[in-house]
Amino acid sequence: MTDIQKHGNFAMAHAIFVWTFMQGIDLFSGAGGMSIGAELSGIDVAYAVELDKAAAATFRLNHHTTCLFEKDIRRVTGDEFLNLDRRQPSIVFGGPPCQGFSTSNQKNRNSENSNNWLFKEYFRLVRKLSPDWVVFENVKGLLETENGYFLDEVLKGFKRAGYTTSHFVLNSADFGVPQRRNRLFIVGSKHGTALPMPEHTHKKHVTVAEALEDLPLLKNGDSVDEREYSRKARTRYAKLMRSDLIKCHNNIVTRNSEIIINRYKHIPQGGNWENIPKHLMENYTDASRCHTGIYRRLKSDEPSIVIGNFRKNMLIHPVEDRGLSVREAARLQSFPDSFRFAGSIGFQQQQVGNAVPPLLAKAVFEQILKFS
């Protein structure tokens, strides 16, 4: 059974029928958000590389037919991908660690952060494999870091490897994801194709309420992994994510202290820490230095803000006084409910937050297949 078949109606509702059969290699795969997008587009993800143990465990749990190398990319020579059919077109995709490029990480946002140079390992393997297409995904901050130095380096790397490049920033909400999240995609073609930016698929954005409406009812600190849904799915998006399941996994919520829950109670939808009475913030040396993303309660009638590290940022459920469950965050990232996350709650939260939304990745891969 392929991963596309395993994802059931979710894949069937989104798969496009293409004449081109393409093999994929996912570098820096994480839990596998980009791989889901590739599979939904008709790409066979043959190989993946991921060092993090928890993310690798999640990838294996959900991508049974992909050969995963769980090791540092600097130790991957390229000779591991022996079973690629050279008669078939191929694509290498992935996003090197992006913490150093993030606009929210000013401390490490410079050329001296060693993680900022892992993209050179990406290009080393691209030169070794010489695929027909390459997709380099990262945060929008890559455009600005060191006055665009890293972007220039990436574009030069593509050119030196013989690729014609296109790059664009896409907002996931424009492609059916119930979350406003800007991501940079740099696409390279070995055959001289300058790829146009994918057209938006959703003029009307999917809202948080539409995304979460049928998920299990939870409380602060809930730890029962598998639960039945609270109701029948009524919205198109919920039906798409849920397919024909009657239960779903990863319904776990961080247990916050009573003082944290008391803070939540004062925050309206769309509000943040500024709505919390000062006497409840006395443990902060200077609460005025909190950034606007801390203690943000999601708005039901809009797409979510960026999920990211939703436990650290203390993103609040739109109507409950608690944080988001892993499954709720996964819904807001467009992971199908059949997708299961492995590891402790902290590792699961990190995997969800770090992922590329599958429906966003799917739009990019579909665009590539159209021009292949």
Domains and CATH numbers, the chain: 3-202+357-370 (3.40.50.150)
d(CA 4, CA 243): 13
247 phi, psi to nearest 5 deg: -140, 160
Given this model, what pLDDT does residue 249 score? 98
Give the separation between CA 341 and CA 60, rounded to whole angstroms: 10
**Predicted pLDDT at 287:** 64
Q: Give the three-class secondary structure for 169.
A: strand
pLDDT at residue 125, as a whole number: 96
pLDDT at 105: 45
Q: What share of the chain is helix, strand, coil (3-state, %, to 5)?
A: 35, 15, 50
User: For residue 293, what pLDDT is reported?
Assistant: 73
Tens of pLDDT along the chain (372 residues)?
344 445 545 654 454 444 448 999 999 999 999 999 999 999 999 999 999 999 999 999 999 999 999 999 999 999 999 889 988 999 999 998 755 454 444 454 445 555 667 888 999 999 999 999 999 999 898 888 778 888 998 999 999 999 999 999 999 999 999 999 999 999 999 999 999 999 999 999 999 999 999 999 999 999 999 999 999 999 999 999 999 999 999 999 999 999 999 999 999 999 999 999 999 988 776 666 666 678 999 999 999 999 998 888 899 999 999 999 999 999 999 999 999 999 999 999 999 999 999 999 999 999 999 999
* Cβ atoms 78, 125 nearer than 8 A: yes
Helices (H) and strands (E) in the chain, counts: 12, 9
Q: Provide CB contacts within 8 A for 257, sequence distance 6+.
A: none
Structure-block tokens of residue 55:
């993310």
Buried b (16+ CB within 10 A) or exposed e, 139-178: bbbbbebbeeebbebbbebbeebebebbbeebbbbbbbbb
Active site annotation includes 248: no
Instruction: Provide the whole-model pTM.
Output: 0.91
pLDDT of residue 274: 92
DSSP 8-state symbol, 283:
T
For residues 210 and 178, the answer to whether their CB atoms sit within 8 Å is: yes
Rounded alpha-carbon distances, angstroms, from residue 168 to 185, 187, 273, 324, 357: 6, 9, 33, 30, 16
